[in-house]
Amino acid sequence: MTEVYLAGTGVPTPNAQRMGSCVVVVVDGEPILFDCGRGAATQLVKLGLDPWRVENVFLTHHHYDHTIGLPDLLLGSWQMGRDTPLRVFGPAGTKHFVESIFETFRIDIQSRLKKRDGREGTRSLLEALPMEIDEGTVSETPDWTVRAVRVVHLENALGFRIDTKDRSIVFSGDTRPCPALVELAEDADVLVHEVFFSPEMEATGAPFGRRKEFVNPQWGERVRHTKPHEVGVIATQARVKKLVLTHMWSNQDEDRLRELVAANYDGEIVIGRDLMNI
């Protein structure tokens, strides 16, 4: 059985209603993470999932709003009693990023290891295995397969598709529209796709939580993201059964967002919210 949860649907700007980007696919009880943004470990707990049971994390790219929750997941699950390594799949730079966690938190880790010296019983395992990946099949088990394509955002950014015995889920990561993602998502049960939609920016010149004087007037046109009408086209071209919108820049005017997407897609549209089971 496969279940899909939106652990975080937000963007870099702090938002009390939305944590950082993170989708959780649970396959026969095994949680698999796609991105690990702000608050990911806490969101897992809220969903009733144990962070220490996460063995695989797939990172789309190295913008901090998609990765900043990884140190918390790794160290927090170690404290909980992790007994397996954490495998971290991601584009070039993943090895450096994972290794930097151990260096950044070296004092903390060493102090906790000293406290454990002489303690009897099973010790929890603090180990992360970074795996730098590119396009193609990047991980495969008897229960699931993950494939990746390059998308148009940060250099080497990736979109992912996971196929299980009963469901196929595609996660765009951050991207402008690109043919590779449409091909990856063909006939998928669920497409979780980012969308750039900001009524606040239309009204004030700055998206939610941003100070106008720090936002370039052309920023909205230059963003490396996908607009609502473009998301609808992508979902239609790929013939996906359900479209889930994430990476939300606003909490406002969801009806208009839905209308803009539906102009080019007549399937089921879900506007993502944190902790949603899709």
pLDDT exceeding 90 applies to what percent of the chain?
85
Residue tagged 């913008």 (tokens): 63
Number of other CB atoms surrounding residue 204 within 10 Å? 13
Number of other CB atoms surrounding residue 143 within 10 Å? 11
pLDDT exceeding 70 applies to what percent of the chain?
93
Residue 9 three-state SS: coil
Rounded distance between C-alpha atoms, residue 100 and residue 62, angstroms: 13
The 10 Å CB-count burial string (b at 16+, else e) for 46-56 is ebebebbbbeb
Instruction: Return the domain boundaries, the chain.
Output: 2-277
> Which residues on adjacent β-strands are paired with residue 53?
none
Q: 135 versus 211: which is more confidently predicted?
A: 135
Helix, strand, coil percentages in the chain from 3-state DSSP, rounded to 5: 30, 25, 45
Rounded distance between C-alpha atoms, residue 113 and residue 115, angstroms: 5
Mean pLDDT for the stretch of residues 196-223? 73
Mean pLDDT for the stretch of residues 46-71? 97
Q: Does position 142 have pLDDT exceeding 80, yes or no?
A: yes
Mean pLDDT for the stretch of residues 43-60? 97
Rounded distance between C-alpha atoms, residue 73 and residue 76, angstroms: 5
Q: Which two tokens stand for residue 46?
A: 């809220």
Q: Which two tokens stand for residue 211?
A: 């100070």
Amino acid identity of residue 25, one-letter, is V
Rounded distance between C-alpha atoms, residue 100 and residue 182, angstroms: 34
CATH of the structural domain 2-277, one choice from 3.30.930.10, 3.40.50.300, 3.60.15.10, 1.10.760.10: 3.60.15.10
Average pLDDT over the chain, rounded to an integer: 93
Q: 234 versus 250: which is more confidently predicted?
A: 234
Strands of the 276-277 sheet, one edge to the other? 128-132, 86-90, 56-58, 30-34, 22-27, 2-8, 276-277
Q: 240 versus 216: which is more confidently predicted?
A: 240
* Band (206; pLDDT cuts 50, 70, 90): low
Confidence at residue 232, expressed as pLDDT on a 0 to 100 scale: 98
Confidence at residue 124, expressed as pLDDT on a 0 to 100 scale: 80
Rounded distance between C-alpha atoms, residue 75 and residue 263, angstroms: 45
- Between the alpha carbon of residue 83 and those of residues 54, 79, 129, 173, the distances in Å are 11, 11, 14, 29
Would the CA dihedral through 71, 73, 78, 79 be positive or negative? positive
Q: Does position 95 have pLDDT exceeding 60, yes or no?
A: yes
Q: Which two tokens stand for residue 231?
A: 């998301």
Within 21-88, where are the H helices? Answer: 40-46, 70-80
Q: Does position 208 have pLDDT exceeding 90, yes or no?
A: no
Q: Which two tokens stand for residue 9?
A: 């649907």
Q: Which two tokens stand for residue 130?
A: 């970074």
275 Cβ contact partners less than 8 Å away, ≥ 6 residues apart: 5, 6, 7, 43, 46, 47
What predicted TM-score, i.e. pTM, was given to this entire model?
Answer: 0.95
Q: Does position 117 have pLDDT exceeding 60, yes or no?
A: no
DSSP-assigned letter for residue 203: H
Confidence at residue 238, expressed as pLDDT on a 0 to 100 scale: 98
Mean pLDDT for the stretch of residues 58-69? 98
236 Cβ contact partners less than 8 Å away, ≥ 6 residues apart: 264, 265, 266, 267
Confidence at residue 121, expressed as pLDDT on a 0 to 100 scale: 46
